[in-house]
Amino acid sequence: DGGITQSPKYLFRKEGQNVTLSCEQNLNHDAMYWYRQDPGQGLRLIYYSQIVNDFQKGDIAEGYSVSREKKESFPLTVTSAQKNPTAFYLCASSILRAGTPNEKLFFGSGTQLSVL
Amino acid sequence: KNQVEQSPQSLIILEGKNCTLQCNYTVSPFSNLRWYKQDTGRGPVSLTIMTFSENTKSNGRYTATLDADTKQSSLHITASQLSDSASYICVVSGRGGSQGNLIFGKGTKLSVKP
């Protein structure tokens, strides 16, 4: 089955700990994204990548880091510098075609991160 | 400031009834407007994408309308089913339509009761 897979579904972080959220896609999409969703709030962009070995900061990148070593994978690390990490994290991917900005996003099923 | 406002915040309807969700935006320049459905604890799923020139688009029992002059969109759900219970998110793309420039509304939480 083609799709985008996030793991784990639930993750707990201790004080001062870095944790990494996994995102893998087999849709052959060029672009991948990380969003944060808080209760009652709209999704906010953390980082996005349009090509391997390149990524851009979104609106709330502080305290997070990413890598894009393979087209299929875009892991997100929540560092100890992120003081309020409890949220639902969503990974997404999309096709990139020059001149067509309307490609829809495909989302994973999310990771709920909580602080112990 | 670019914003997307959705109303109502939540809605309860009986199975089989119709409903309409609203989305007002102040994003400029405008590229496209999207509606997503998000089940609790899951990722959003795309329902429709509309560009400036499109007034209406349907996806089964879901019909979205767009008035680019008044910067308003609506999502109409016909003959609601229990499985329609979810949050519906309006998303507007601005500044040339880059996927990195999507502005998300807070969503309308719809509950369909038997």
Nearest chain B alpha carbon to A38: B106
**Predicted confidence pLDDT, tens digits, chain B (114 residues):** 789 999 999 999 999 999 999 999 998 888 889 999 999 999 999 999 998 889 999 999 999 999 999 999 999 999 999 999 999 999 998 766 556 678 999 999 999 999
* Structure token digits, residue A100: 């067509």
Sequence-distant (≥ 6) Cβ neighbours of residue A44 within 8 angstroms: A35, A36, A37, A38, A58, A59, A60, B104
Q: Which of A31, A79, A86, A78 lies closest to A56, judged by CA?
A: A31
A1-48 pLDDT per residue, tens:
569 999 999 999 888 899 999 999 999 999 999 999 999 899 999 999
A22, A77 Cβ separation under 8 angstroms: no
| Shortest Cα–Cα distance, B16 to chain A (Å) | 27
Contact assignment for A105 to B104 by CB distance below 8 Å: no
Nearest chain A alpha carbon to B89: A42
Helix (H) or strand (E) holding B34: strand B30-38
Would you place residue A55 in the very low, low, confident or very high pLDDT band (cuts 50, 70, 90)? very high
* Structure token digits, residue B62: 């879901």
**Integer Cα distance of A37 and A35 in angstroms:** 7
CB atoms within 10 A of CB A107: 23
φ/ψ of A58, rounded to 5, equals -95, -150
CB atoms within 10 A of CB A33: 26
| Shortest Cα–Cα distance, A86 to chain B (Å) | 14
B74-106 burial: b if 16+ Cβ within 10 Å, else e: bbebeebeeebbbbbbbbbbbeebbbbbbbbbb
Q: Which residues of A sit within 8 Å Cβ distance of B?
A: 4, 6, 31, 33, 40-45, 48, 56, 58, 90, 92, 94, 96, 101-110, 112
